Amino acid sequence: MDYRDRHVVVTGGTGALGRAVVDKLIAGGATCHVPALNEKEIQNFPSRDHPQVKISADGDLSDEAAVARLFGSVPQLWASIHIAGGFAAAPVAETGKADLMRQVDMNFVTCFLCCAAAVKAMKNGGRIVNVAARPALEWRSGAGMAAYTASKAAVAALTVALAEEVAKQGILVNAIAPSIMDTPANRQAMPKADFSAWPKVEEVAATIVFLASPENKVTRGAIVPVYGRS
């Protein structure tokens, strides 16, 4: 993918999937703008000193002012990739309002605010890629994690509605829906699982980078399953 002279925001860029996305964007020539929650997150980010990476510690993306500062610092935004989010599993009967709102803030509000800021910043078209999840498409699989499932289903609905809203502005909006990905954290949490069936973060990143690229000329309003063999 040719990203030369293009600026891309990558929220959640310091995480496992985000790092893979940033690596592919750098290889394509992009300048990546990556928000981080704190200095520790920055120090643990391998690409923090790369000349094509601009990283900031103002990473509370549920804060509208912080989002405005992030996007206001990006010249000629081409693409905005929204990976930031969080996961929590609990039965509905054990999920209080604070737990619910935490999932909504982390997964849906951050995505919504970044989408809105990206649309405002894209003067000559562009690309937006959100990250939903498999339960966002297969609701029954969300049993035991209903708050997470609902927040990610909201991301999927936002993606399709926004794609229709901004198509005539030359902005193509899509999302991916990953299953469990092969990351060190997921292996540790599920040591008896078949890791070989899980999609690799590099494989999922490749789909994201295509959807965000100039080579994607027609795909919009898609929620793309990236399940691998799982």
**Tens digits of per-residue pLDDT, 14-60?**
999 999 999 999 999 999 999 998 889 999 999 999 999 999 987 79
Catalytic residue among 3, 71, 108, 148, which? Answer: 148
Give me the CATH code for the 7-226 domain, please. Answer: 3.40.50.720
- Of 167, 168, 181, nearest to 221 by C-alpha is 167
Whole-number Å distance between alpha carbons of 230 and 218: 28
Q: Where are the domains of the chain?
A: 7-226
Task: Read off the pTM.
Answer: 0.96
For 114-171, the pLDDT digits (tens) are 999 999 999 999 999 999 999 999 999 999 999 999 999 999 999 999 999 999 999 9
**3 noted as active-site residue:** no
Measured in Å, how far apart are the chain's first and last C-alpha atoms? 27
Say how far apart CA 56 and CA 15 lie, in whole Å: 15
